[in-house]
């Protein structure tokens, strides 16, 4: 295999590897919906229960149950609070698509009564909370004398402020590119390639604005604080693990770039920095994230 094909292969490998790691981080994070399946009235019901919502409006909790003879109820309270559980019945709306069907339009024209069809979705509008406020909830579905609970443990959902796409999208793109070039730099160092310094430098160039500029801006929009980790609250402060992870990874690549600039053969530093960033990405996103402890409020 010639050098051009080898380079193409390793770039493809780095891209696939980065996509897999990013997907893993997203799916293992505490904001990814909780999926599951239950059986009721001899029918399987699949669901995904949300764990994050924006706080500019109430959050829709939706379970798709086409069998309209099934009802749903939800019990909820603020997380980390002395609140008692509130309970409410979930509701079904009128299926608007069916309401505008040809048969109903013809009924309206001919003076006949319209027919209605219930939406297959059971819904509840969770009351919005302040940024970093959390709600824990459980959902039960019932049919006649049979009742099933969708999750044995309460689902904890966190509210956040809306983040402008002009800030969020560049942040995501730059963090992805930083992981991509970090992976490629690590591979280049392992292969003793001559582009290790270049890829290391590009990693840092993407990482600094993505993680240290746009990252804090995203967090401030979402939770009202630019930085809640090291060095302001100490490295082992678990207020928001994301800040500590970012600081450690940027520091690792900054040292690697300095060492490689002084000595292009010091490629072990690039390997170490790439492993640090990989370890950082393997830690679920938003772990130990910002939250309001209502038990501490008067």
Q: What is the pTM of this model?
A: 0.83
Is residue 99 over pLDDT 90? no
Pair type for strands 86-89 and 71-78 = antiparallel
| Averaged pLDDT for residues 97-125 | 65
In angstroms, rounded to a whole number, what is the distance separating the alpha carbons of residues 122 and 221?
Answer: 31
Pair type for strands 52-54 and 43-49 = unpaired
What are 221-234's pLDDT values in tens digits?
A: 998 888 776 665 54
Residue 147, Cβ neighbours under 10 Å: how many? Answer: 12
In angstroms, rounded to a whole number, what is the distance separating the alpha carbons of residues 226 and 41?
Answer: 50
In angstroms, rounded to a whole number, what is the distance separating the alpha carbons of residues 255 and 224?
Answer: 31
Is residue 216 over pLDDT 70? yes
Confidence of residue 113 (pLDDT cuts 50, 70, 90): low
Domains and CATH numbers, the chain: 3-29+163-296 (no CATH), 34-160 (2.60.40.10)
Instruction: Give the pLDDT confidence score for residue 82 in this predicted structure.
Output: 92
What are 124-139's pLDDT values in tens digits?
A: 999 999 999 999 999 9
What are 35-86's pLDDT values in tens digits?
A: 999 999 989 999 999 999 999 999 999 999 999 899 999 999 999 999 999 9
User: Where are the extended beta strands (E) located within 33-168?
Assistant: 34-40, 43-49, 52-54, 59-64, 71-78, 86-89, 121-126, 134-143, 146-149, 155-160
Q: Who wins on pLDDT, 285 or 60?
A: 60
Q: Give yes or no for a contact between 34 and 293, defined as CB atoms under 8 angstroms apart.
A: no
Closest CA to 85 of 18, 135, 30, 140: 135
Question: Which token pair is 216?
Answer: 């804090």
């Amino acid at each position: 295999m010639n050098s051009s094909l080898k380079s193409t292969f390793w770039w493809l490998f780095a891209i696939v590897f980065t996509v897999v790691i990013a997907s893993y981080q997203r799916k293992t994070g505490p904001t990814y919906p909780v999926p599951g399946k239950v059986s009721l009235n001899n029918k399987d019901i699949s669901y995904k229960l949300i764990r994050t919502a924006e706080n500019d409006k109430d959050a829709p909790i939706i379970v798709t149950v086409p069998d309209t003879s099934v009802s749903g109820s939800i019990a909820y309270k603020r997380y980390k609070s002395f609140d008692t559980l509130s309970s409410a019945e979930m509701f079904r709306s009128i299926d608007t698509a069916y309401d505008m069907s040809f048969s109903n339009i013809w009924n309206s024209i001919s003076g006949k009564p319209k027919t209605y069809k219930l939406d297959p979705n059971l819904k509840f509008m969770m009351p919005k909370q302040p940024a970093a406020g959390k709600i824990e909830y459980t959902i039960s579905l019932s049919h006649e004398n049979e009742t099933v609970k969708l999750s044995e443990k309460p689902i904890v959902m966190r509210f956040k402020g809306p983040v402008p796409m002009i800030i969020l999208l560049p942040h995501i793109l730059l963090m992805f590119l930083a992981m991509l070039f970090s992976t490629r730099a690590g591979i280049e160092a392992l292969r003793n390639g001559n582009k290790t310094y270049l890829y290391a430098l590009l990693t840092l160039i993407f990482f600094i604005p993505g993680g240290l500029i746009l990252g804090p801006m995203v967090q401030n929009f979402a939770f009202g604080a630019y930085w809640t980790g090291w060095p302001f609250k100490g490295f082992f402060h678990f207020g928001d693990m994301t800040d500590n992870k970012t600081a450690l990874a940027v520091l690792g690549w900054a040292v690697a770039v300095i060492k490689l600039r002084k000595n292009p053969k010091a490629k072990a530093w690039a390997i170490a920095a790439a492993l640090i960033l990989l370890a950082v990405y393997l830690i679920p996103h938003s772990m130990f994230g910002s939250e309001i402890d209502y038990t501490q409020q008067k």
